[in-house]
Chain A
Amino acid sequence: MTDPTGVRSPKAARTKDRAATAVLAAIVFAIVVMLVVVVGHVVASGAGKLVDLSFLSGKPEQFKAGGGIGPEIFNSFYLLLLTLLISLPISLLAAVFLTQYLPEGPVARVAKTAIETLSSLPSIVVGLFGMLAFVLSAGWGFSILSGALALTMFNLPILVRVIQQALEAVPRTQRDAALALGLTRWEATTMILIPVAMPAIVTGVIISAGRVFGEAAALIYTAGQSAPTLDFLNFDLSSTSCPWNVMRPAETLAVHIWKINSEGVVPDLSAVSAGTAAVLMVCILAFNVIARLVGRALERRMTAA
Chain B
Amino acid sequence: MSDAGNGVVLSARDVSVSYGTHLALQPSSIDFAAGSVTALIGPSGCGKSTFLRCLNLMNREIRGCTIEGRVIYHGQDVNTPDVDSYALRRQVGMVFQQPNPFPKSIYENVAFAPRRHGMASRSELDALVERSLRAAALWDETKDKLFASAMALSGGQQQRLCIARALALDPDVVIMDEPCSALDPIATFSIEDTISDMASRGICVIIVTHNMEQAARVSDRCAFFLLGELVEQGPTNELFSTPKDNRLEDYLTGRFG
11 chain-A/chain-B pairs, Cβ below 8 angstroms:
A173-B98, A174-B102, A176-B61, A177-B101, A178-B102, A179-B89, A180-B56, A181-B113, A182-B90, A185-B61, A302-B151
- State which of B30-38, B75-83, B162-170, B243-251 sits at the interface with chain A: B162-170
Q: Does A268 make an interface contact (CB < 8 A)? A: no
Q: Which residues of B contact A182 (CB under 8 A)?
A: 86-90, 113, 117, 169
Q: Does B211 make an interface contact (CB < 8 A)? A: no
Bound state CA distance, A217 and B145, in angstroms? 54
Q: Is B63 a contact of A177 with CB atoms below 8 Å? A: no
Q: Does A118 make an interface contact (CB < 8 A)? A: no
Q: Does A53 make an interface contact (CB < 8 A)? A: no
Bound state CA distance, A173 and B94, in angstroms? 12
Q: Is B100 a contact of A177 with CB atoms below 8 Å? A: yes
Closest to A103 in B: B63
Q: Is B96 a contact of A176 with CB atoms below 8 Å? A: yes
Q: Does A304 make an interface contact (CB < 8 A)? A: yes
Closest to B165 in A: A181
Closest to A171 in B: B100
Q: Does A121 make an interface contact (CB < 8 A)? A: no
Q: Is A179 a contact of B151 with CB atoms below 8 Å? A: no
Q: What band does the interface of chain B fall in when counting residues whose beta carbon is under 8 Å from A? A: 20 to 34
- Minimum CB–CB distance from B63 to chain A (whole Å) comes to 7
Q: Which residues of A contact B58 (CB under 8 A)?
A: 176, 179-180
Among residues 133 to 169 in chain A, which have CB atoms less than 8 Å away from a CB atom of chain B?
none
Q: Is A173 a contact of B100 with CB atoms below 8 Å? A: yes
Among residues 207 to 224 in chain A, which have CB atoms less than 8 Å away from a CB atom of chain B?
none
Closest to B109 in A: A177
Among residues 111 to 162 in chain B, which have CB atoms less than 8 Å away from a CB atom of chain A?
112-113, 116-117, 148-149, 151-152, 162
Q: Which residues of B contact A27 (CB under 8 A)?
A: none
Among A173, A184, A195, the one with the most B-chain Cβ atoms within 10 Å of its Cβ is A173
Q: Is B166 a contact of A181 with CB atoms below 8 Å? A: yes
Closest to B117 in A: A182
- Minimum CB–CB distance from A231 to chain B (whole Å) comes to 48
Q: Is B169 a contact of A181 with CB atoms below 8 Å? A: yes
Q: Which residues of B contact A191 (CB under 8 A)?
A: 112, 116
Q: Which residues of B contact A185 (CB under 8 A)?
A: 61
Q: Which residues of A contact B90 (CB under 8 A)?
A: 181-182
Bound state CA distance, A191 and B113, in angstroms? 10
- Minimum CB–CB distance from A199 to chain B (whole Å) comes to 10
Bound state CA distance, A262 and B122, in angstroms? 66
Select one of B116, B151, B162 contacting A187, CB under 8 A.
Answer: B116
Bound state CA distance, A304 and B153, in angstroms? 10
Q: Which residues of A contact B101 (CB under 8 A)?
A: 177
Q: Does B185 make an interface contact (CB < 8 A)? A: no
- Minimum CB–CB distance from B231 to chain A (whole Å) comes to 27
A181-B165, A183-B86 as given contacts; A304 in contact with B152, CB under 8 Å: yes
Interface residues contributed by chain A, number (CB under 8 Å): 24
Q: Does A17 make an interface contact (CB < 8 A)? A: no
Q: Does B103 make an interface contact (CB < 8 A)? A: yes
Chain A residues touching B, majority SS: helix
- Minimum CB–CB distance from B86 to chain A (whole Å) comes to 5
Closest to B88 in A: A182
Among A177, A183, A302, A303, the one with the most B-chain Cβ atoms within 10 Å of its Cβ is A177
Q: Is A183 a contact of B116 with CB atoms below 8 Å? A: yes
Q: Does A192 make an interface contact (CB < 8 A)? A: yes
Other contacts beyond A179-B89, A304-B151: 4, CB < 8 A: A173-B100, A176-B94, A180-B96, A181-B169
Q: Which residues of A contact B102 (CB under 8 A)?
A: 174, 177-178, 192, 196
Bitwise, B49-68 to A at CB < 8 A (1) or not (0) is 00000001010010100000
Q: Does A1 make an interface contact (CB < 8 A)? A: no
Q: Which residues of A contact B98 (CB under 8 A)?
A: 173
Q: Does A305 make an interface contact (CB < 8 A)? A: yes
Q: Does B105 make an interface contact (CB < 8 A)? A: yes
- Minimum CB–CB distance from B198 to chain A (whole Å) comes to 16
Q: Which residues of B contact A181 (CB under 8 A)?
A: 89-90, 93, 112-113, 116, 165-166, 169
- Minimum CB–CB distance from A166 to chain B (whole Å) comes to 14
Select one of B89, B105, B117 contacting A180, CB under 8 A.
Answer: B89
Q: Is B103 a contact of A173 with CB atoms below 8 Å? A: no
Q: Is B149 a contact of A302 with CB atoms below 8 Å? A: yes
Closest to A180 in B: B94
Q: Which residues of A contact B162 (CB under 8 A)?
A: 177
Among A180, A184, A187, A305, the one with the most B-chain Cβ atoms within 10 Å of its Cβ is A180
Q: Is A303 a contact of B149 with CB atoms below 8 Å? A: yes
Select one of B88, B100, B103 contacting A302, CB under 8 A.
Answer: B103
- Minimum CB–CB distance from A125 to chain B (whole Å) comes to 36
Q: Which residues of B contact A176 (CB under 8 A)?
A: 58, 61, 94, 96, 100
Q: Does A61 make an interface contact (CB < 8 A)? A: no
